[in-house]
Chain A
Amino acid sequence: MVQTHVETGLAADVESWREKLDAHTREIVAWHFDPSTGCPFWLEYAKKLDWDPREEIHAYADLRKFEPFEDEWLRGGPVRRWVPKAYANDPVYVFETGGSTGVPKSRINVNDFRIDYEIFSDTLSDDDFPRNADWLMLGPSGPRRLRLAVEHLAQYRGGISFCVDMDPRWVVKLIKSGRVDMMHEYKEHVVNQALTLLRAHDNIQCLFATPKLLEALCERVSLVKMGIKGVFCGGTQLTRQFHRFAREELLEGKIGFYPTYGNTLMGLACHKPFDPADDFCVIYHPPCPRALIEVVDPDNTDELVGYGEVGRVRLTTLTKEFFMPGFLERDEALRLPPCQKYPWDGVGDVRPFSGFATPIVEGVY
């Protein structure tokens, strides 16, 4: 049974983290709205306000003074309006999300992806992801952040990352046009490349794979026999039953399994350490204070739902590279309480938001 109340004894930790979050919020708002460091988008935005964010945002809760962040702001150019002046002379990456049809959302990056994945690295066990072991990244690259991020994760841990590309936009097109056979052929093509690499390089012991590709790979080989020790899995919805199936069957109960929830806009939310009491609920905690995930009432997005209740996911990103207050994600989730390792709110059973009129093609990779 998933715990839906705050553990006794955690109150002090929760309060301490809340104070850190508030301080971090003040620092980030001051940075983004300072003409010497902020980005053109927010500086222009501030000119239209009849209040000064640097004066009035004292705590995380004050971010509600901003209107909800609109994803349309991230579509189209000029993309440089998102580059903080402080980073004007640094090499800038742009990563995209969406884009199966229309203009994708873009987010600029300088070092955030590295920082996010270094923080994530600290949550990984060295038994499951041995230092100096090599990695295989089986998922989307191209305009996505994932390839560079996993590669950096591998390098940060002393390894080298092999990569196999998978183009999710093409897969969405195949599904929407009913070309399911071709979609499976493409999946086979991706998995065959992965198998070739796994067979050729003995030191690959760590794997990133999306849920569908993990399933497809495990239909062909035993990852235990291939020498894989840890699997980091994400990119699409992970249901409780998939979580159980992956742990018990695909990975034969012998490989570390680390489900994650992340995206280009927020960063990477880590999975609460596996606890049988959670009944395979995949529970994520965001990389606070760099990002927050809240679960809000879809009909009144100013209100959080109670612990154990389902609502729409709202993301807030608070880094020096990117400020995104109150972005309503296209997901819904259970709101779950802080835990010892992560003394701030988490989310569970994340899935596509059911309130959209048109279903989203999801879970393609």
Chain B
Amino acid sequence: MLHIPILRNGNPYTSVESVELVHHATGDPMASVSQANSGMVVRDIGNMDDCVLESFTVRELFDLSRKAAELFMTASLPVGDEMQTFDDYVNQLSSSTGMPVGYCRNNAAKIHRVMDEIEIVVGGLTRGFDVDILDQGYGTHNGGTLSYFREGRIFGAVLPSNSPGVHSLWIPAISLKAPIVLKPGREEPWTPFRVIQAFIAAGVPKEAFGFYPTDHGGAAELLRCVDRSMIFGDANTTRPYENNRNVEIHGPGYSKVLLDDKAADNWQDCVDMIVASIETNGGRSCINASAVWTPKNGRKIAEAVAEQLAKRQALPADDPNATLAAFANPLVAERISDVIDHGLREGDAVDLAEQFRGSPRLVKQGRIAYLLPSVVWCPDREHALANREFLFPFASVIECPTSEMPNAIGKSLIVSAITDDPEFRKALMDSPNIDRLNFGMVPTFKISWDQPHEGNLFEHLYRQRAFQIEPAA
């Protein structure tokens, strides 16, 4: 059976303990994944050479990233004792996670783009100063002296299994010279392992990489021992790190589409964009919309969106028309569906997609389950389901005057506001609730990589210092 090793300083290590990955639908064993004990994670991080990438300039690392991008998409790269083609990777990823093959390819393309367009991505993070400054430690920018030093000596990430696209968020750390230590999601070791192998094949020293499938204890130790890190997870997972400035949290997004009065009058024009924001990528990302806020016509909008989403079916992951990811653990789907049903018992909220479909959202097929889309019309914006996010296409539709929206929406990773009202735009611009703001018909999932959101990786890793140097005589 295929084996995915731990990478200790880039060197494969086979643990005496492993977790078996199975095909989400058939249950057939696919691979064994070596598991690291927490002490190993601590010891290895302590022994890592935090300067291993300092011998490269940032521009050289850009070149290696572009080369790695190509290798990621085209090369056969090692996984344990075997070689993995790109198609192997996509199929394995889909098989263990239940994500449609088409989505896996789209996410891989997103990762490729970040690696390939790394210069633009880093330019967005650094706001365009000359990256040679990072090599020398100081330099001139806009006529003034600029100096930075790297506080993130070792960078760590505790990664999820829900969407491979998130891996694009930690990749720039390599070009910013930070050696990385990754704890992959249980069902998704494939992408981070392949990205690392692509970088090593491109010429980045293997000592810059640690890869540790491990348990919660190991993940906590990883976050404790690295200098800077990011964690993905639900509110319970991320809560212990809320006040830890060394840990960048990527929790639930609660992303939203907002309509102003004019857009609400012409709501029919917005439906396709709303539907796409909710369901793209299987509705599993923090950048999917989980709520639609409108000053009027809420019920009509909810019905129109629900009518479209009610057509989605539970299809096998390798079906080209598949849009929904399967839940390899049907209990998770059951629990989510129960939470929604419980919420619907209160107040006047109603799942309109379920009504259009005429069948329950929970679909069990063999050992797996699917959740068909839910669109919940919530007349009361304080309703328990008004601001929830789940691992499938789910959105609530809420009516609220635009003047109250900036405060009432609560923390929102992404807001796509369909408005050209200057006053509403200004209020949204001023709102501390919004991390990433789009104006116009921009779906919430459409990310421009030169515009970082949810924390800036460069600012996470580097600190600016005051710096003067005596001019040469």
Which of A151-159, A235-243, A306-314 is found at the contact surface with chain B? A235-243
Q: Is the CB of A240 within 8 A of B17?
A: yes
Q: In this assembly, does B32 line the interface, its C-beta being within 8 Å of a C-beta of chain A?
A: no
Q: Which residue of B35, B43, B217 contacts A363 across the interface (Cβ within 8 Å)?
A: B217
Interchain CA distance A252-B17 in the complex, whole Å: 20
Q: In this assembly, does B240 line the interface, its C-beta being within 8 Å of a C-beta of chain A?
A: yes
B58 CB, nearest partner CB in chain A, Å: 33
Q: In this assembly, does A173 line the interface, its C-beta being within 8 Å of a C-beta of chain B?
A: no
Q: Which residue of B17, B43, B46, B240 contacts A178 across the interface (Cβ within 8 Å)?
A: B240
A242 — nearest CB in chain B belongs to which residue? B37
1/0 per residue A260-271: CB within 8 Å of B?
000000000000
Query: With A239-B17, A279-B16, A280-B16 as given contacts, are A245 and B39 in contact (CB-CB < 8 Å)?
Result: yes
Interface residues of B in 4-43 (CB under 8 A from A): 15-17, 35-40, 42-43
Q: In this assembly, does B367 line the interface, its C-beta being within 8 Å of a C-beta of chain A?
A: no
B15 — nearest CB in chain A belongs to which residue? A241
Q: Is the CB of B42 within 8 A of A245?
A: no
Q: Is the CB of B46 within 8 A of A219?
A: yes
1/0 per residue B206-227: CB within 8 Å of A?
0000000000010010001000
> Which residues of chain B are within 8 angstroms of A250 by Cβ–Cβ distance?
39
Interchain CA distance A279-B35 in the complex, whole Å: 15
> Which residues of chain A are within 8 angstroms of B217 by Cβ–Cβ distance?
363
Q: Is the CB of A241 within 8 A of B240?
A: no
- Count chain A CB atoms within 10 A of each CB in B37, B38, B39, B240 and give the residue with the most: B39
> Which residues of chain A are within 8 angstroms of B42 by Cβ–Cβ distance?
215, 219
B46 — nearest CB in chain A belongs to which residue? A219
Q: Is the CB of B37 within 8 A of A241?
A: yes
> Which residues of chain B are within 8 angstroms of A279 by Cβ–Cβ distance?
16
> Which residues of chain A are within 8 angstroms of B39 by Cβ–Cβ distance?
215, 242, 245, 250
Interface residues of A in 241-283 (CB under 8 A from B): 241-245, 249-250, 279-280
A320 CB, nearest partner CB in chain B, Å: 40
A246 CB, nearest partner CB in chain B, Å: 8
Interchain CA distance A249-B217 in the complex, whole Å: 19
Interchain CA distance A239-B38 in the complex, whole Å: 11
Q: Which residue of B16, B43, B46, B220 contacts A241 across the interface (Cβ within 8 Å)?
A: B16
Main secondary structure, interface of A, reads helix
Q: In this assembly, does A180 line the interface, its C-beta being within 8 Å of a C-beta of chain B?
A: yes
> Which residues of chain B are within 8 angstroms of A363 by Cβ–Cβ distance?
217
> Which residues of chain B are within 8 angstroms of A280 by Cβ–Cβ distance?
16
A180 — nearest CB in chain B belongs to which residue? B240
> Which residues of chain B are within 8 angstroms of A243 by Cβ–Cβ distance?
16
> Which residues of chain B are within 8 angstroms of A180 by Cβ–Cβ distance?
220, 224, 240
Interchain CA distance A280-B18 in the complex, whole Å: 13
> Which residues of chain B are within 8 angstroms of A5 by Cβ–Cβ distance?
none
A337 CB, nearest partner CB in chain B, Å: 20
Q: Which residue of A178, A218, A244, A249 contacts B16 across the interface (Cβ within 8 Å)?
A: A244
Q: In this assembly, does A184 line the interface, its C-beta being within 8 Å of a C-beta of chain B?
A: yes
A279 — nearest CB in chain B belongs to which residue? B16
Interchain CA distance A90-B37 in the complex, whole Å: 46
Q: Is the CB of B15 within 8 A of A249?
A: no
> Which residues of chain A are within 8 angstroms of B46 by Cβ–Cβ distance?
219
Q: Is the CB of A245 within 8 A of B40?
A: yes
> Which residues of chain B are within 8 angstroms of A242 by Cβ–Cβ distance?
37, 39
Query: With A180-B240, A249-B43 as given contacts, are A241 and B35 in contact (CB-CB < 8 Å)?
Result: yes
B240 — nearest CB in chain A belongs to which residue? A178
Q: Is the CB of B16 within 8 A of A240?
A: yes
B423 CB, nearest partner CB in chain A, Å: 43
> Which residues of chain B are within 8 angstroms of A218 by Cβ–Cβ distance?
43
Query: With A239-B37, A241-B36 as given contacts, are A219 and B43 in contact (CB-CB < 8 Å)?
Result: yes
Interface residues of B in 39-65 (CB under 8 A from A): 39-40, 42-43, 46
1/0 per residue B281-320: CB within 8 Å of A?
0000000000000000000000000000000000000000
Q: Is the CB of B17 within 8 A of A241?
A: yes
Interchain CA distance A180-B40 in the complex, whole Å: 19
> Which residues of chain A are within 8 angstroms of B37 by Cβ–Cβ distance?
239, 241-242, 245
B217 — nearest CB in chain A belongs to which residue? A363
B42 — nearest CB in chain A belongs to which residue? A219
A117 CB, nearest partner CB in chain B, Å: 27
> Which residues of chain B are within 8 angstroms of A219 by Cβ–Cβ distance?
42-43, 46
> Which residues of chain A are within 8 angstroms of B16 by Cβ–Cβ distance?
240-241, 243-244, 279-280
> Which residues of chain B are within 8 angstroms of A244 by Cβ–Cβ distance?
15-16
> Which residues of chain A are within 8 angstroms of B40 by Cβ–Cβ distance?
241, 245, 249
B217 CB, nearest partner CB in chain A, Å: 7
Interchain CA distance A49-B270 in the complex, whole Å: 79
B40 — nearest CB in chain A belongs to which residue? A245
Interface residues of B in 356-370 (CB under 8 A from A): none
Q: Which residue of A184, A215, A239, A241 contacts B224 across the interface (Cβ within 8 Å)?
A: A184
Interchain CA distance A250-B38 in the complex, whole Å: 13
A178 CB, nearest partner CB in chain B, Å: 5
Interchain CA distance A67-B39 in the complex, whole Å: 42
Interchain CA distance A23-B320 in the complex, whole Å: 72
B35 — nearest CB in chain A belongs to which residue? A241
> Which residues of chain B are within 8 angstroms of A245 by Cβ–Cβ distance?
37, 39-40
1/0 per residue A334-365: CB within 8 Å of B?
00000000000000000000000000000100
A249 — nearest CB in chain B belongs to which residue? B43
B39 CB, nearest partner CB in chain A, Å: 4
Interchain CA distance A244-B239 in the complex, whole Å: 33
B17 — nearest CB in chain A belongs to which residue? A241
- Count chain B CB atoms within 10 A of each CB in A178, A239, A241, A245 and give the residue with the most: A241
> Which residues of chain A are within 8 angstroms of B35 by Cβ–Cβ distance?
241
1/0 per residue A206-224: CB within 8 Å of B?
0000000001001100000
Interface residues of A in 184-203 (CB under 8 A from B): 184
Interchain CA distance A243-B38 in the complex, whole Å: 12
Interchain CA distance A180-B247 in the complex, whole Å: 14
Interchain CA distance A303-B423 in the complex, whole Å: 75
A172 CB, nearest partner CB in chain B, Å: 15
- Count chain A CB atoms within 10 A of each CB in B15, B16, B38, B239 and give the residue with the most: B16
A114 CB, nearest partner CB in chain B, Å: 32
B377 CB, nearest partner CB in chain A, Å: 36
A292 CB, nearest partner CB in chain B, Å: 28
Interchain CA distance A239-B240 in the complex, whole Å: 26
Interchain CA distance A116-B36 in the complex, whole Å: 34
Interchain CA distance A299-B17 in the complex, whole Å: 27
> Which residues of chain B are within 8 angstroms of A178 by Cβ–Cβ distance?
239-240
> Which residues of chain A are within 8 angstroms of B224 by Cβ–Cβ distance?
180, 184
What are 22 A-B residue pairs whose CB atoms fall within 8 Å in the complex?
A180-B220, A180-B224, A215-B38, A215-B39, A215-B42, A215-B43, A218-B43, A219-B42, A219-B43, A240-B17, A241-B15, A241-B16, A241-B17, A241-B35, A241-B36, A242-B37, A243-B16, A244-B15, A245-B37, A245-B40, A250-B39, A279-B16
Q: A178-B240, A215-B39, A249-B43 are in contact. List 5 more A-B contacts (CB 8 A).
A: A239-B37, A243-B16, A245-B39, A245-B40, A363-B217
User: A-contacting residues of B (Cβ < 8 Å)?
Assistant: 15-17, 35-40, 42-43, 46, 217, 220, 224, 239-240
9 residue pairs, one from A and one from B, having the closest CB atoms: A215-B39, A241-B17, A240-B16, A241-B37, A280-B16, A242-B37, A241-B15, A241-B16, A244-B16
